Amino acid sequence: MTRLETRSLLEYFKDAVEKTAQEMDVHISELARFYLVDLLSRYTQARVLLEPEWGEREKTFGQALLESYGASSEKRARILRQIGDTTLFLSGFFSDSFQRSLVDIDYYAAIGSTAYKNLESLLAGRIVDWGFGGVFDELSEHFLQVVDMFAEISEAGGTRRSGDILRIYERWLRTRSPRDRRLLREAGIIPIEDSTPDILQ
C-alpha cells in the first residue's frame, strides 16, 4: 500500500466516522473518534486478526479475557485492547455472519465492553499509561452504538450484504439498536415495542 493510498484510507475512515457519528447521534469525544479511525485503519491489515496478543487463535474471546488476568499489566492491557477492538470490528462489519455461528452479537458486545472497561481500570490506576484517558470507558459505554456506526460504514462501503430481516428483528429484540429499528422500518416492519399505542406506554 502506498503512502497516498494509506493517507486516503485514513481520510476515508475519518470522514466516515465523523459523518456516521453525527448522523446516528452518537456522542463520543474527539479522542474516541480518532481512536476509531485508527482502529479501522489497523484492521485493514489481516495480521491484526491472524496474530492475537494471547497467542492461540483457537481460543475464544472469553477464554482470552479470563486468561489475561494472569498476564503482566502491560501484556494484559494489550490483550484487553485487542479483544475490545476485534469484537467491536467484527460486530460492526460482520454481524450478519453471526447467524451461522454458535455465538451472537450480544456475546461479542458483552466480552468487548468488559475488555474495554477492564482496560480503562488499568489506565485509570496508572498501571499502564497509553495517553487514551477515558476513551476505553466511552467505548465500553457506547459499544453497541459504535457497532451500529461500523455497520453503517460497512454498508455504505458495500462490504456487507442485506441482512435477513428476521435476524435483524431478533437482534433488535436483544439489543434495541436504533439502527436495527431503522432497518426494520425501512423494510416495512414496525417493531412490536414501537407499535404499542401511546396510551398503554
Specify the pLDDT at position 105. Answer: 84
Where helices occur in 43-164 by DSSP H, the ranges are 47-50, 61-67, 73-93, 105-124, 135-141, 143-156
Torsion of CA 35, 144, 57, 75, to 10 degrees: 50
| C-alpha cell belonging to residue 169 | 428483528
Helix (H, G, I), strand (E, B) or coil at 175: helix
CA distance 182 to 37: 25
Q: What is the CA radius of gyration of the chain?
A: 18
Specify the pLDDT at position 168. Answer: 74
CA distance 93 to 169: 18
CA distance 110 to 115: 9
Specify the pLDDT at position 198. Answer: 43
Which whole-number Å values give the CA distances from 175 to 5, 34, 56, in the listed order? 36, 26, 30
Low-confidence ranges of the chain (pLDDT < 70): 1-8, 97-102, 127-128, 157-166, 187-189, 191-201
Residue recorded with cell 442485506: 162
The total number of residues shown for the chain amounts to 201
Specify the pLDDT at position 100. Answer: 58
CA distance 5 to 17: 18
Specify the pLDDT at position 165. Answer: 61
Specify the pLDDT at position 164. Answer: 59
Q: What angle, 0 to 180 degrees and rounded to 10, lies between the N-to-C axes of helices 143-156 and 178-186?
A: 40
Q: What is the pTM of this model?
A: 0.75
